[in-house]
Structure 1
Amino acid sequence: MRLSAVFLVVVQLLASVYAKAESGNVTLTRAFADDDYGFYQQKVLEAVLSATPEYGNTQISLHPHPMPQSRQVVSLLKGDADVMWSVTNAEREKLLTPIKLPLLKGLAGYRILVIADDAQHNFEPTLTTDELKTRTLVQGNDWPDLHVLKSNGFNAEGEEWSLWFTSMYIMVEKGMVDGFPRNVIEVSGDLARHADKPITIDKNHLLVYPNYEYFFVRPDDDALAKRIRVGLSRLIENGKLEAIFNHFQTHKLALTLADDPHRTRHTLQNHFLPYVLDYARWDLEKEKAIKALTSE
């Protein structure tokens, strides 16, 4: 490439960055065309920006194109977006800057099995973890959870995910797989959207592993990372983050499922996350959570 052409590319890139900064917008990626998915995370980010006015009057713009998580990562690295949210793993934390507050209180690692209506006999209460590993399961092909299941010896396969995970639920409905491990936060909303399908929640089992959902920003955007950390710490301290969390009925249902004493807990290791947080339940460990955010 000629020097003049290189100079022109650099000038155009700088102009694009300057225009983005002047616009006062933070672009948030999204997974689906339906804005209901990720609405909680969007509301949290809005509250973060409102709680940090000294950083400027900034608004959220949703990325115009829904995309899977792997493409969201690329979008941030290319500068096409500023913030994404997803469960974390070591590789993702190398590529991007994680804001280490579990937005879902660690409940992303509590997985309920969605099964066909007539398949409960495959998941009796006495089923051991080793026996459970013989059942066929499905996860999103670019979800860190797929690798967690496989590394723990589960018979799990990846699937391209479509709007509201229709492809996964069809696989369950048709008996192509025995179950779809879905986190306790999202499973009730999913079943409401797929009410026409003969599927249900297994009554007896719960998969549990360290799994945290964070905001992520580009590794070169220290200012935005700091702003989100400061904003989250303020929202924890003044109770607004808890209020936003409790506003969603699905979150209350999730805690009921996660704390159900009648379910057999199958504890898994997350080999792709080299740490366990002692403040994942930030509502119960406010001081630890705030200290962790402000010390990064």
Structure 2
Amino acid sequence: MHSLNLLKKAVTAAITLCLLAIVPMADAATWTITYPRPIDDSDARAQYPIALLKLALDKTGVNYELRPSDRILLTSKAMRQLRENREVNVVWSMTDNQREKELTPIRIPIAKGLIGFRVFVINEDKKSKFDNVLSLNDMRKLVPIQGEEWPDTKILQANGFNVFTVPEFRAAYDMIKQGKGDFFPRSVMEVSAELEEEGLVTNLYLEPSMALYYPTAMYYFVNVNNKTLENLIHTGLNRAIKDGSFDDLFESTYSPILESLDVSERKIFTLENPLLPIETPLTNSALWYKVKQQ
């Protein structure tokens, strides 16, 4: 009888140990995926990348928690933190050779290349400067404003522009208001929400008839050692492309914006992009928005 009680106690103890071991495993099965916190929760520019990331992760069936970083992280800071495996484990940003050396890109352009489709925010007092812009050579005589660490700055410089640089995008809007530089080339993905945020009572003006285009991609990036997350996002995006849900989200988000910007009526000047990595999947037309070339 004594032996039976000892056996029962031993079995109970073993079961308890097994249950204690299972709990951490269950917790570990939930992926915590942290992205850079935007400037505010209503930041429209972050809504599509977050929605697409959720869509991709949902397609994998993995249990996950998607959450913003504890503090606001602009792109350049977020990329540095991701390199060091701190604060965030996924960032979306425009690609270039340097970023692809330091981080792992998931080479599916999340907005079909719209990040390289640029319209011009200008000061109302400078409208007349654009009246006689008939060619790319004419455009090069004007001074664009861009961020100091943005790939766009190097692209514009490589195409013969004299670029005025600022620390971040809000400073660019301030410079335009003050009459500094001539234009702020802003992606069609971003400009409408930003101008709405700036408000109507400003001297900002969206030039109505022209645009720049250069081939580039906005990707999700992960740390070079995070192969599992890379595979998860890549798998989920491919599944969303295959079942049409990627295109559905893209169209519902950007078709109204592109229509409101009259992109089909604009004269588009095409630039070369010497920063574009050779691995960019330019030959897969399904991944790109077709921009009318000049």
Task: Flag whether TM exceeds 0.5 (same fold).
Answer: yes
1:140 aligned partner: 147
Contact preservation (8 Å) 1:236, 1:283: no
Match of 1:239 in 2: 244
Q: 1:150-198 deviations in whole A, cap 9, x for unaligned?
A: 111111122112xxx3321121121111110001111111111112211
* RMSD (CA atoms): 2.4
- 2:270 match: 267
Flag structure 2 segments of 5+ consecutive residues without an equivalent: 1-24
Whichever residue aligns with residue 156 of structure 1, its letter is: V
Pairwise CA distance, 1:219? 0.7
Q: For residue 102 of structure 1, what is the aligned residue in structure 2?
A: 109
**Contact 2:145 2:166 survives alignment (8 Å):** yes
Choose the corresponding residue for 1:29, options 36, 41, 49.
36
Residues 284 and 85 of structure 1: CA distance in aligned 2, closer, same or farther (over 3 Å): closer
Q: 4+ runs of 1 displaced by more than 3 Å?
A: 20-23, 255-259
Moved more, 148-157 or 84-93: 148-157
Instruction: Give 1:85 shift.
Output: 0.2
- 137-146 or 32-41, larger mean C-alpha shift: 32-41
Question: Which has the larger Rg?
Answer: 2
Residue of structure 2 in register with 1:75 after alignment: 81
User: Displacement of 1:259 after TM fit?
Assistant: 4.1
Alignment of 1:67-216 (within 5 A): 67-80=73-86, 81-124=88-131, 126-161=133-168, 165-195=169-199, 196-216=201-221
Q: Deviations over 1:59-80 (max 9, x none)?
A: 1121112223222122112222
Structure 2 length normalisation: TM-score? 0.81
| Deviation string, structure 1 residues 225-269 (Cα, Å, up to 9, x no partner) | 111111001111112112222332x553236647424x2221111
Equivalent in the alignment of 1:45 = 53
Q: Check the 8 A contact 1:133/1:153 in 2, yes or no.
A: yes
> Match of 1:61?
67
Residues 48 and 231 of structure 1 are in contact (CA less than 8 Å); yes or no, is this contact kept in structure 2?
A: yes
Q: Which runs of 5+ in 1 are unaligned?
A: 1-17, 286-296
- Aligned letter for 1:238? D
Looking at structure 1, the residues matched to 220 and 262 of structure 2 have their Cα atoms a distance apart, in angstroms, of 23
- What is the aligned partner in structure 2 of residue 279 from structure 1? 284
TM-score (norm 1): 0.81
Q: Specify the SS of the correspondent of 2:33.
A: strand
User: Could you say what secondary structure the match of 1:270 adopts?
Assistant: coil
Residue 112 of structure 1 and its aligned partner are, at CA, apart by 0.6
CA displacement 1:25-57 (0-9 Å, x = unmatched) = 11112342445231111111111111101xx31
After superposition, the Cα gap between the structure-2 partners of 1:145 and 1:126, relative to the gap in structure 1 and judged at 3 Å, is closer
Letter in 1 for 2:171: S
Contact 2:213 2:268 in 1 (8 A): yes
1:194-222 per-position Cα deviation (integer Å, ceiling 9, x unaligned): 12211111122211111110000011111
Determine the C-alpha separation between the residues in 1 that align with 2:74 and 2:289: 32
Q: Which residue of 2 aligns with 1:291?
A: none
Aligned partners of 2:259 and 2:99: how far apart in 1?
A: 27
